[in-house]
């Protein structure tokens, strides 16, 4: 562990010393690939060691979506969690020791959303310190991450937390790189670029892949990609999660400063203590989660608008709907009558293709 940390520190120091220009791009790409490999070693150590997942971290996924709260101590994370859950639902008294993931549940627009307070994720966890590794496993399963910041010192904290999450292979508010990558048995590295590249060339791509002992592959660059993008695709274990920056303690700043904060992308200013602007925060959470509500309708009756079946926007087929209710439903399923904007006429008869 310590030798891996020493190697990481060494590479980071060399990257800081190296000037960034066309001539050094190849060398920097190689260093980034080595760094990514070492980070992976820290998060997933070699050999199946003993020991369970750690108390309090194997939190069962309940509800329609899961949100992870990340932040430094004393930024009002716990206050926000308890006030949100306290105002909008009943939270069961979970018995967890300190330094564990504390769950709560809120109901919003008919959806049941699980809230998780993730402790210790920012205290050198990406370097394997503390119990960071177990927390990471939970963080990677979240549908949305809320980074809670103190409005008086947001930038320093924001950078540290982002670096930690990046180190875990979590990419915030970004889409997977538009790069095609396919390993082959022979034929060498075949690079195709469908648009001009400012950073990657054939030599850089070959050296990055050589670091992973890949000497035969087809690589297609469909956008102006960086060395980091290529490494993310090769590693293949990155998760892309939307993120909202919650700026707490707005009761301590002026109206003019608040106006400026409102213009920052992905930000919501709040006061957890006074419960200010919770409506705005919940609305933004709903937008970022991209959930779809589907209401069931008994024959000859009005739809039941009290308890919708909630599905992610990307998975809204009739099959997904059946699987959400019960996996056996699909076996006896004949057809569904669907009303809404997604069908050509109301109602439309939809048959499952399985």
pLDDT tens per residue, range 18-36? 888 777 777 888 888 888 8
Query: What is the mean predicted confidence (pLDDT) over 194-211?
Result: 88
Average pLDDT over the chain, rounded to an integer: 80
What pTM value is reported for the model? 0.78
Q: Which residue has the tokens 């809120």?
A: 106
Beta bridge partners of 338: 348
The answer on pLDDT for 257 being more than 90 is no
Query: Which pLDDT band, with edges at 50, 70 and 90, does 141 fall under?
Result: confident
Tell me how far apart the terminal alpha carbons of the chain are, to the nearest angstrom: 49
Cβ neighbours of 302 (radius 10 Å): 8
Cα angle 330, 342, 175; round to 5? 90
State the Cα–Cα distance between residues 217 and 209, nearest whole angstrom: 9
Query: Which pLDDT band, with edges at 50, 70 and 90, does 105 fall under?
Result: confident
Query: What is the mean predicted confidence (pLDDT) over 121-134?
Result: 56
Beta bridge partners of 268: 246
275: left (phi over 0), alpha (psi -120 to 50) or beta: left
- Write out the H or E segment, with its range, that includes residue 114: strand 111-117
* Domains of the chain: residue spans and CATH: 3-45+177-235 (no CATH), 65-174+239-289 (3.40.50.300), 292-350 (3.10.20.30)
The more confidently predicted of residues 94 and 7 is 7
Query: What is the mean predicted confidence (pLDDT) over 74-91?
Result: 69
Q: Which residue has the tokens 């991450």?
A: 145
Query: Which pLDDT band, with edges at 50, 70 and 90, does 181 fall under?
Result: very high
Please write down the long-range contacts of 199-203, taking CB distance under 8 Å and 24 or more positions apart: 199/25, 199/29, 199/224, 199/225, 199/226, 199/227, 200/29, 200/225, 200/226, 200/227, 200/230, 201/25, 201/26, 203/26
Query: Which pLDDT band, with edges at 50, 70 and 90, does 144 fall under?
Result: very high
The more confidently predicted of residues 350 and 175 is 175
Q: Which residue has the tokens 């274990």?
A: 237
Beta bridge partners of 47: none
* Least confident residue range of 73-77, 79-83, 88-92, 309-313: 88-92
Task: Tell me the C-alpha to C-alpha distance, in Å, between residue 268 and each of 146, 165, 176.
Answer: 10, 20, 25
User: Counting beta carbons within 10 angstroms of the beta carbon of residue 271, is it exposed (0 to 12), middle (13 to 18) or buried (19 or more)?
Assistant: buried
* Tokens representing residue 73 in the block: 């101590």
The whole-number pLDDT of residue 101 equals 61
The answer on pLDDT for 296 being more than 50 is yes
The answer to whether 164 and 121 are in contact (CB under 8 A) is yes
């Amino acid at each position: 562990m310590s030798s891996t940390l020493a190697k990481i520190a060494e590479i980071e120091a060399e990257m800081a010393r190296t000037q960034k220009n066309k001539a050094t791009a190849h060398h920097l790409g190689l260093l980034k690939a080595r760094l990514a490999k070492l980070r992976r070693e820290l998060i997933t150590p070699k050999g199946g060691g003993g020991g369970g997942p750690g108390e309090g971290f194997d939190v069962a996924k309940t509800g329609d979506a899961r949100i992870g709260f990340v932040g430094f101590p004393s930024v009002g994370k716990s206050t926000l969690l308890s006030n949100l859950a306290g105002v909008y639902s009943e939270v069961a008294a979970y018995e967890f020791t300190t330094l564990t993931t504390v769950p709560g549940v809120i109901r919003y627009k008919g959806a049941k959303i699980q809230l998780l307070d993730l402790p210790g994720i920012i205290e050198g966890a990406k370097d394997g310190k503390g119990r960071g590794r177990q927390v990471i496993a939970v963080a990677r399963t979240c549908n949305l991450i809320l980074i809670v910041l103190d409005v008086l010192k947001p930038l320093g904290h924001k950078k540290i937390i982002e670096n930690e999450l990046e180190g875990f292979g979590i990419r915030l508010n970004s889409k997977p790189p538009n790069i095609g990558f396919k390993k082959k048995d022979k034929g060498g590295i075949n690079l195709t670029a469908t648009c001009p590249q400012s950073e990657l060339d054939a030599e850089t791509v070959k050296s990055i892949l050589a670091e992973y002992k890949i000497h035969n592959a087809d690589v297609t660059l469909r956008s102006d990609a960086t060395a980091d993008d290529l490494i993310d695709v090769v590693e293949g274990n990155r998760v892309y999660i939307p993120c909202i920056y919650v700026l707490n303690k707005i009761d301590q700043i002026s109206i003019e400063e608040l106006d400026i904060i409102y213009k920052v992308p992905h930000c919501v200013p709040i006061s957890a203590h006074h419960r200010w602007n919770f409506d705005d925060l919940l609305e933004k959470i709903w937008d970022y989660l991209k959930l779809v509500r589907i209401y069931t309708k008994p024959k000859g009756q009005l739809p039941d608008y009290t308890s919708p079946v909630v599905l992610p926007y990307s998975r809204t087929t009739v099959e997904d709907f059946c699987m959400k209710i019960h996996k056996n439903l699909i076996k006896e399923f004949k057809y569904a009558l669907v009303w809404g904007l997604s069908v050509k006429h109301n109602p439309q008869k939809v048959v499952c293709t399985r």
